[in-house]
Amino acid sequence: MSQLQLVITDTAQDDLGDIWDYRAEYDIASADKLIDRIVVHCRLIVTMPRMGTPRDDLAPGIRATVIDRYMVFYRVDAHQLVVARILKGQRHLPDFF
């Protein structure tokens, strides 16, 4: 199987921006490192797309993995791994899908 293309949706990009903004209020370097870890984690998921837990309770075909206190929600098709959302795990997740 060839490697999937990683696609981070505009909504997930916005989530990353919100995460950075919140963390940067306290520590810009920490915010940068957190975003870097999340992006590296997304690249890891591409190499093992079934590593996430199915979350069909939120949306059909959605899977989730955890990085720090955040959850990366994604879908896999034949050619792409699409990151749909990146949310803090304590949020009421159904509100976002």
Q: Is the dihedral of CA 94, 40, 16, 46 positive or negative?
A: negative
Check residue 2 and give its pLDDT. Answer: 59
Check residue 6 and give its pLDDT. Answer: 96
pLDDT tens digit string along 55-93?
A: 999 999 999 999 999 999 999 998 999 999 999 988 888
pLDDT tens digit string along 17-32?
A: 999 999 999 999 999 9
Q: Domain of 57: which CATH number?
A: 3.30.2310.20
pLDDT tens digit string along 32-59?
A: 999 999 999 999 999 999 999 999 999 9
Check residue 36 and give its pLDDT. Answer: 97
The number of CA neighbours under 13 Å toward the Cβ of 15 is 20
Beta carbons within 8 Å of 10's beta carbon, 6+ residues apart: none
Look up the domain containing 53 and give its range: 5-96
Instruction: Collapse the DSSP code of 41 into the 3-class scheme (helix H, G, I; strand E, B; otherwise coil) and give the result.
Output: helix
Q: Look at the chain and report how many structural domains it folds into.
A: 1
State how beta strands 63-67 and 70-76 pair. antiparallel
